[in-house]
Each structure stands twice: as C-alpha cells, then as structure tokens.
Structure 1
C-alpha cells in the first residue's frame, strides 16, 4: 500500500478533479488501483507518464524486428507495449501468453517453422482494460482489418534506374484509373503514361484504409485518406480481397511493371492523422502514447480528419520511419508524398530523409506544407515557412496554383492562365519558384485530386468562352506547369480535360464522378499531343532547373533560356512578337512544329509558343 499526498480539488463541469502525489517508485506495467476512503477502487492509468522524456528514453526499442518476423525457420512475434501488464497472442484460434522484457517493454514469443498465412491478434491487458487488437506492425490482414496475417517478407529485386534530373509527377488513384479498381487493372495503362513522358507515378494511398468495405467495394468510394493500418495494403485494390497475401504480390508486381518502363513510384502516405484513433491498434497497445491531446484531454484534430499522431515521440517517429523503410525495401518505392505534412515535426522529417537515403540516395520526399492549427506547440513543424530547415524536402506550391489558375476556393476567380493578364508579373514570380529556400522544393501544379479539376474550373471562370478556347486554356495552363522552375506535377486526366462534373471535393463521391473516362483520350488527343511534345522539350532543356530570363509585355510573358524563347499569351487578343533575324517554331498550340519565321510572329490568343534560335 502506497499512501497518497493530497494536492488539490477542482470542480469541473460534471465532476471534481483531485490531484495527489506519492513518494515511491512504481513498476511500469504493474497494475495498481487507487482506493478512496469509502473503499471503492479504480485502476491507476498510465497516461501522461508515457509522454515524458524519461519514459521515451527508458523504453525506446531500436531494433527492426517488431511485428511477426519469419527468419531461419522460426516465426517470432514482438509487440512494444511497455504499459501493458499482460499480452496474449491469439493465433489460428489458439492462445499463448507472451514473454515480457521489462527493459524495453517488448512482449515476444517464437515458434518453430514458417507460419506465413496464419491469422493472429494480440489480447492486451492495460490500464484495467483488456483489448483485442491487430498488430500495428502487421504486413497483411484479413478483409476489413479484422485480423493480422503472418507474412514471410522477401526483399524485392531492385531495378536500377537513372537519377531523374527534372521530375514530372503524374498523380493516379488506383480506383479511378483502373477499370476494375485494382492494382492489376492499372498495369495495361502504364504504356500510355510512359509514352506521355512522365517520370514518376504518384499513387493515392494504397495502405489499408477504413471507409471502403472490402467485400462490397462497389457500394463505397473513398480516396483513402483515412488510414487504419499503415504497413498493410488496401484489400479492395486486390483481385481477391479475401486473400491477404495476394494483395502483396499484386502490388509488388505493379511496382515492378512501373519500374520496367523506367518510371518511378511515389506513395501518398497519411501520417498526420488516424481514421479512428479510439479503436486503433495504437490506442489499444499503448494508450495515450501515439496521439496528441489538448488541455481538456481530448484528441487534437487540427486537420478535421482525425486524431493527430504525436510524431515527436521516439517510438511514434520510429514507427513512421520503419513503415517508410519497409515499402522501400519490400516494393522498391522511390518516394513519398506526405498528406498534411505540416502536422509532422521537422526533426521527424529530417530523420525520415536521413534513414531513407541509406537505402535509396535519390529518394523523393515532398508534401503539403500549409500552416494549420495543431496540438503541437513546442516544435517546429514541416510547413513551408520552415523550408530552409528541410532543403531536400519539397512543398506543394498553392501560390503557384492560385496565381496561374485562380483561387481554388472561389470557382469563378480567374488567374493569369484563365485570363487575368494583370497577374503577369506575379505569374513570373511563381514560375521562378522564389517562395521556398530552394527552387527544387517547389511542387508546381494547377490540378490535383483536391478541388475541382482544372477543366471544370476553367469552364466556371471563363464561362463566355467556347469549347475550342477552353481547350486552348487547358493547354496553356499545362504549359505554365511544365515550363516553370521546380518540380512539375500533373493530375491523371489533366492532359485530356478530365471532369468531375464540377464537384469541388470528390473524396467520397461515387465512381460515376471519380472514374477516369478513357474515351476522352480520343476526343482530346490534341491536348495529349501538346502535353507530350512539351514534355519532350522540357526534358531536353531541364526547365525545372533552368534560370529563365523573363519579361512581360501587354500581359504576355516572354521567357528566354539558352537558345529557346517561349511566349505565353493568355489574353483574348493576338500578340505580335518582334525579333531580329530568323527563328524556328518548335511548338505551338498544335504541339511540335518545325518551320521558320523572320522578324515577327503573331502569337494567337490563349496559346503558348516555343521558338529556337537559328
């Protein structure tokens, strides 16, 4: 019995809060009870102690063998649960008490043989409660995240690709682009994407998410920004969601097919929040550890999407790094896009960079760096104002988006490319990528999965223009992205005027809204040709790295680099460009060209032209 020392009593809205202290050492994980003067007891909960520096130092576990690991004919289960007093392994309907290592807080148990395909869960007793949970480090699970499944991890053979000097990212949602909505279904479209000239395919979240029922995926739709398991893949993207090992093989094959075409793979990851924190394996295994809490002891939810992960804590940070390393080693992933990266602290992002570069020197890292309200008040966060601290990590440039296309939150607001020629000087500034510490940190885009598609936006803010003029604007906006300094980013279907019927946020809209209409490729083949041809020129001259000399005249932008001159005319008037001698027109609104002009060129309204010196 340990006596308590009274400190204070405070009246809250519906209860009294008592504070006590005690002078004794306690054993973390040992179940204790607090007894009142009436003899009633309540469990002592390990809560704020898990946030202390001493706890994080004492129970940090540095090895890379958490989860179910098959090696040398032995299957070993390891779970980090320092505050738990007991853990039972439930495997194939049998139950085994796990052994605790008090020094690290690890519970472990080993079996002879390869138990691949075995179904398992942990039964964790902690803080007076008992929870059944999947494995946070589980690499596979049965449908709808019900149980973890043992996987014998075999390292993927690495396909050596050349370092990309001037990346062009193409954002793809598996369900949207594939007719069947599966990993396998994307493969027939890879030749088209490769032929377009893309260097990196960015996949919307492919890890297990919560809002689509694997057994009835046709009823539900979601982009996948509601993570349940970070290391297991999304079952609805498998040809057979009831086979937890098949989805790994199909995703591995997709990554291999992408690499075979000399394209690289970027995964969209969501470490800023969890879909359902209270029911998560994190909260059941080490309650109160993995998430941020406010002054009222409630989850911080600054993103309005779910509880924020407390990324500064050592084992939370380790989990993120371990997960990213797993996908690089297992699937040869080439980069990551971090959803709401500004909820992750700078030190975690730097550790991610340093750790991943040990496996892949040219790993590509970037994310959303908006400054948002968060529960983290002490540390510097990975938002664009701290770009100098993370010079090898990129940021989506929403300023570029809004200056070139028009404010995304006002559907009728125009930008430079949609006819607001008074924005020409500002457009030059964003095309120079001056916003961040290094130009290579600027992810330049006018369309992504969020907000209206570019073509839908154009139809709203250029309502008096005919279809032919709207299509020319689509080309002009694409040209601004591809000719700007920084990293070019295109959304799948942007090059054939994709529409989502004007919907601003289609995250859970049905397939009728989100599904790619591949028949539009034929209708808008001129836009595809223009995009492909300009990408070829971009690659030849590495415009993403170029120090272009800009000028502006009558709202028209003129850029000069090496022996090239490009002219962007978003107005509804023709622009006469005069010069000395002769030049060769190598691109206009119809794509690649090859004819000479002398002394002047009449640049049509709403077009981009590229000239070469003779």
Structure 2
C-alpha cells in the first residue's frame, strides 16, 4: 500500500492527538489515505483489569489537510482509546494514537490525559537549574533509570528501586548507614551539571506487568513515559506524574535532565504510524524494501514533511510538558539536516529554549536511502547544522583509550602514545578542521571515553592490559582511568561520561548488556564507596573546570583554541588562552609514558591543581619554577602564581 508521498497533504495545525478539556475531548488524527476512521473507547488499558468494558464507538469525520476529527462530550480523562481504520482497498488496521500522551499497561491503548491532574506537587514552580544554563559549567553523566537505584545496597526504598521515584529520595546512603551517599544524594556532590537518561519513553520489549530489563532503544509510544519505571503501569496518569516528579527532584538538586531520544527507528516495522498511513513513515529503497540504517529494519523517514513535524512536535512536547533540559539523538545521522535544524529552531522559540542542549551520534548503524536532496546529520554536515547542535566525538574516544571495536587495541594512555597526534587537535575541539570535522564552535563537540555502548572504561582498560580481574584495582589501570578523565575534562567541548566511570564501573567484560541482566547493569554503590579517591578525583576535575572556564572553550564564541607548547616525545602541553586581555592562568601537560618525564615550565611561578592523583580547584603544593617532573601516566594542571 505504498502511497505517492509527495501527493499527501501536510497538516499545519498543532492539535493532533486527544486534546482534553473538562467538558469535551477532541480527537484529531492525520490519516489522509484512510477511507474511514472510528474511535474505540475503553474503561481500562487492558481487558484483564477489573471493570474492563468497551464504550460506544465514535466515527471520525474527514477534516482539513488529511486529518480526521471527532469531539466527544463529557469529562473523558482516564478513558483509553485506539483507532480503527479502513482503506479503499478493504484493508483494515487498529492503531494507538501516535500523539497519545498516556497509555495503559504495555502501551496497547492510548489514554486521554488531564495533564494538570498528573502534575506532582509544586510542578508549576519547577525551573531549569542555573548551572544548566552556564555553558562553561556543563558536564553530562549518563545513566539508565533502573541501573541508578536497583542495587539492594542503594538505600532507596524497596518499592522505588529501579523506578522514576528513586530520583526523588534525597538522603539515601549505602545500606542507610548515613555516611556514603548514593543516588541523588551522591549526584548532588559529584559536581556534574546534567544527568542524561537512557530512553524513558514507552518502549516495547519489557512487560510492564511483570518486569524485565532493556536499555529502551526499542520505541513503541514516543510521547509518554515507560510504564516499568512507574509504581503503577496500569493507570496512565501515574507514569506521567512520577516521571515529572523525577525531573523536578533533579532540578531541585541543581541538575539538568537530558533525554535520550530514539527517533531514528521504531521497534516494529508494523508500527502505529505505518498502520495509519501505510508506506509513509518508514524509509524505503526505490524498489519498496525497507532501509536498515538503524540495524532494526525500520528507519523513520525524517525527510518526509509529516515525519519531520512529528519529531519537532514530540521534542517540544517533552521540553514543555516535562521540562526536559536537553536531547541526545540516537544515530542522529539517520536524520536529515533540515529536520535537526527545524527541531533546534523550535526549541529556540521556547522561553529559555536556547539553553536546551541538543546533540547526537553523528553516524548510522548501516546504510540508508534518504530521498534526493536530504543531507544526513553526520560529521560532514557540521557546517550545515545549527552551531548549537553537537556531536559525540568518537575520534577523541578511541584515541584516548583505544578503539571500541577491538578490545585489545590500545590508545594514548595505555600503550599507543603515538595516538596523541589526534589529541593535539582534540584539545581545541577540532576547530582547525582536522579529523573530517568542521565545528562552528567548541560546543558542538561532545568529548567522552565511555557511554552505555561497548565496554565500560574500566573493562576496556582491563581488556587492553589482558586482565580479567575486574574487581582488583590495579594501580597502573587506575592511573590510566584518571588520565582518561583528565584529558576529557581539559579538552574544549562538552564533557560526557557513563555513570560509574568515576568509580571504575565494571560489567565484567560484557560490552553489550542491553537486555540485562539487571544485576550486571545496576550501579554498584558499594563499589562507589570503596573507590572514593577516584570519585574525588573526578569531583576535583569538575571543580577545576568550573573555576577556570577557559578550559572549556565555551565562555565566548571568540575564545581562541589552546596554545600548544613545544614538548618532547609523546607529551602534550598547552596553555588554555583567554578571550579577554587578562593574562593566561593555566598550563596543562599530558604524559602517557610509563615513566616520569621532566618538563621546562613557562616563565613565572606555578602551583598545582592536578598532579595525576589528586585534583582540586584550590592550588596546592610548593611554587614551581623552571622545571618540573611529570608523574608517569598523568595529566598535570598548574595555575599561575599571582604577582603583586
């Protein structure tokens, strides 16, 4: 049933979905190729719940620009619904409303939502934290909702473990012993500005009635929260209220919230959108075969006008209805540049919207087939992308610790110091146009060494070293871990890392735990307490970065790239220059060698901020002039001594 996509009308209204009011609800569906549409209503989200029954069906009438519409009187809040469609050739389909704002258990029926009644206490007063609005203070900590609190030692109330509400418990400590902070209590002290949540919209492969585990890159319903993270998956308003409560709690703790969005594909090729407008929503080859750029066989065709509208509408809904502070786009190169720029423009038009972050993976999972004229939003497209759309920099990632597709491949910190050539450009966020990238500014580069995909940083360092003793904290590997962190946090750009990198998180050598088990994925809060010195090192680096914002390259669009110093061997040295007339205040050295190295210092006196083992914003140690010995496998940061 492929349709001529160019002939389909484009709906320009902003009222798709179930628009609720106390006295009536209006249902609007874009289905231009349907011959008839019927609204079917239910008292419950599934047929197995008490009181389940079907209500009278309601026919929709054909309306403007390919839409169908019906207004139903009365207070419909809490009613569940689907659409039945019939096409001219006699084919039929049943689908959940793609614009549904709530749903029943497992997402098989949409729900009419009274949004105001699904607000947590003081939701109207919720605001984006000040740190989230300061580019030079930004850093991102990525975590899965269930991983965050599932550990039995987390100190979280048992009924909240693995749920949205775990983020709302403020005083949790390890085994409730009152000493070692966990969860939100831990995050408040860590010093990051944003928490990036792996997908929180409704996904397909976890049975919400019985539980299970998945990372969530299997989208089912894009505009409503996942029910397995709610204390009650059956009543659609509960997941909405509890997801909002999580966001509000993170905001209260001074943390922005970034949402990992997977608009590049749906889990099922037979998805709601394709059932409603067959042949339109998924990208196809000229012969009609589905493209497979996502590895899932069902790529969304973002270049189609109504798909683009859907993505824009969905992002704006999450930003406004859930106060989301940023969006991370999975496989962003499967989207076209025009769509990404349209999303950025729509966010910018919101009050305070220019402070909402937006970045993504500038690659695909396989070949796709965009229609003529569409430009993939990949690294090569940085000059065409809005300057405030960022990309993950896999060049820096692989250079620092070794490639992700070869477990034993070393990087700059662990046996291949020659890889440091790339780091010469990374410290300035590749603004010299190297590595196939031409960013407009430093803020377009997301610097990282670990994320949910592939090995944890600790497991990668173990793999390169040929060791499988994941719970033994080798001194040389801890030095490599610290060096990885210090490089990322002294390069210009936005620093990002996987939750637990700062306490040597391990998944015992498993690089792909997307289906669990939860026991392997859950953050080990006992390990976090045990590795307090490593956690403090990350805290200190973040404090240095906030105190000396010239490290970030984000204080001013005109801020120059760092001044590279002439240093011997594989060492790297640079001075983060300032955009104003003030004198330079810092010098940074990377020493990947396994032996200490002597370095000639710039003129004047210097005191230490980071010596490779300790990091803090207040200078410590003696004043150094002339020469200094750099410890093996270390990053050293020095601050100029003020002269009267």
Q: Compute the TM-score of the two structures, normalised by the length of structure 1.
A: 0.88
SS at match of 1:70: strand
Determine the structure 2 residue equivalent to 1:595. 621
Unaligned runs of 5+ in 2: 43-53, 151-160, 170-182, 431-436, 554-558, 577-583
Work out whether 1:560 is the aligned partner of 2:575.
yes
Give 1:230 shift: 0.3
Determine the structure 2 residue equivalent to 1:486. 493
Give 1:297 shift: 1.7
CA shift digits 1:322-362 (9 cap, x unpaired): 11111111011111000001011111111111111111122
Q: Superposed, which structure 2 residues align to 1:503-542 within 5 Å?
A: 503-542=510-549
In 1: Cα distance, 2:422 partner to 2:65 partner = 55
Higher deviation after alignment, 240-249 or 98-107 = 98-107
In 1: Cα distance, 2:630 partner to 2:56 partner = 76
Aligned with residue 349 of structure 2, among 346, 358, 362: 358
Give 1:102 shift: 4.6
Aligned with residue 99 of structure 1, among 43, 60, 65: 60
In 2: Cα distance, 1:186 partner to 1:426 partner = 39
Aligned with residue 144 of structure 1, among 106, 110, 115: 106
Q: Is the 8 A contact 2:167 2:250 kept in 1?
A: no
Aligned with residue 261 of structure 1, among 253, 262, 265: 253
Determine the structure 2 residue equivalent to 1:159. 127
SS at match of 2:83: strand
In 2: Cα distance, 1:108 partner to 1:370 partner = 39
Q: Is the 8 A contact 1:369 1:382 kept in 2?
A: yes
Aligned with residue 544 of structure 1, among 523, 531, 552: 552
Determine the structure 1 residue equivalent to 2:438. 436
In 2: Cα distance, 1:522 partner to 1:178 partner = 15
Determine the structure 1 residue equivalent to 2:3. 48
Unaligned runs of 5+ in 1: 1-44
In 1: Cα distance, 2:417 partner to 2:129 partner = 42
CA shift digits 1:404-451 (9 cap, x unpaired): 111111111111122322222222212221133222211111000000
Q: Is the 8 A contact 1:266 1:334 kept in 2?
A: yes
Work out whether 1:387 is the aligned partner of 2:378.
no
In 1: Cα distance, 2:63 partner to 2:530 partner = 66
Give 1:160 shift: 4.6
In 2: Cα distance, 1:607 partner to 1:504 partner = 26
In 2: Cα distance, 1:377 partner to 1:112 partner = 43
Give 1:469 shift: 1.3
Q: Is the 8 A contact 1:114 1:152 kept in 2?
A: no
Q: Is the 8 A contact 1:183 1:251 kept in 2?
A: yes
Q: Compute the TM-score of the two structures, normalised by the length of structure 2.
A: 0.84
Determine the structure 2 residue equivalent to 1:613. 640
Q: Is the 8 A contact 1:436 1:442 kept in 2?
A: no
Work out whether 1:82 is the aligned partner of 2:32.
yes
Aligned with residue 271 of structure 1, among 263, 269, 272: 263
In 1: Cα distance, 2:235 partner to 2:58 partner = 28
In 1: Cα distance, 2:10 partner to 2:532 partner = 56
Higher deviation after alignment, 588-597 or 253-262 = 588-597
1:320–1:87 distance in 2 versus 1, CA, 3 Å: same
In 1: Cα distance, 2:463 partner to 2:375 partner = 39
SS at match of 2:222: coil
1:197–1:466 distance in 2 versus 1, CA, 3 Å: closer
SS at match of 2:279: coil
SS at match of 1:231: strand
Determine the structure 2 residue equivalent to 1:36. none
In 2: Cα distance, 1:532 partner to 1:490 partner = 13
Aligned with residue 281 of structure 1, among 269, 272, 276: 272
SS at match of 1:388: coil
Higher deviation after alignment, 147-156 or 234-243 = 147-156
Determine the structure 2 residue equivalent to 1:246. 238
Determine the structure 1 residue equivalent to 2:607. 584
Determine the structure 2 residue equivalent to 1:415. 411
Give 1:587 shift: 2.0
SS at match of 1:111: strand
Work out whether 1:233 is the aligned partner of 2:225.
yes
In 1: Cα distance, 2:466 partner to 2:289 partner = 47
Higher deviation after alignment, 407-416 or 188-197 = 188-197
SS at match of 1:277: coil
Aligned length: 561
In 1: Cα distance, 2:297 partner to 2:191 partner = 37
Give 1:260 shift: 1.2
In 2: Cα distance, 1:102 partner to 1:533 partner = 60
Determine the structure 2 residue equivalent to 1:319. 310
Work out whether 1:183 is the aligned partner of 2:164.
yes
Give 1:72 shift: 5.6
Give 1:261 shift: 1.9
In 1: Cα distance, 2:439 partner to 2:483 partner = 27
Give 1:62 shift: 1.4
Give 1:119 shift: 1.3
1:160–1:202 distance in 2 versus 1, CA, 3 Å: closer
1:523–1:358 distance in 2 versus 1, CA, 3 Å: same
In 2: Cα distance, 1:229 partner to 1:64 partner = 19
In 2: Cα distance, 1:594 partner to 1:271 partner = 48
Give 1:502 shift: 0.8
Determine the structure 2 residue equivalent to 1:336. 327
In 1: Cα distance, 2:538 partner to 2:269 partner = 43
Greater C-alpha Rg: 1
In 2: Cα distance, 1:203 partner to 1:610 partner = 31
CA RMSD of aligned residues (A): 1.8
SS at match of 2:638: strand
Determine the structure 1 residue equivalent to 2:209. 215
Q: Is the 8 A contact 2:420 2:570 kept in 1?
A: yes
Determine the structure 1 residue equivalent to 2:189. 195
Give 1:550 shift: 2.1
Determine the structure 2 residue equivalent to 1:27. none
SS at match of 2:220: coil
CA shift digits 1:457-495 (9 cap, x unpaired): 001113479701111111110011110011101110010
Higher deviation after alignment, 370-379 or 74-83 = 370-379
Give 1:512 shift: 2.1
Give 1:138 shift: 0.7
Determine the structure 2 residue equivalent to 1:445. 448
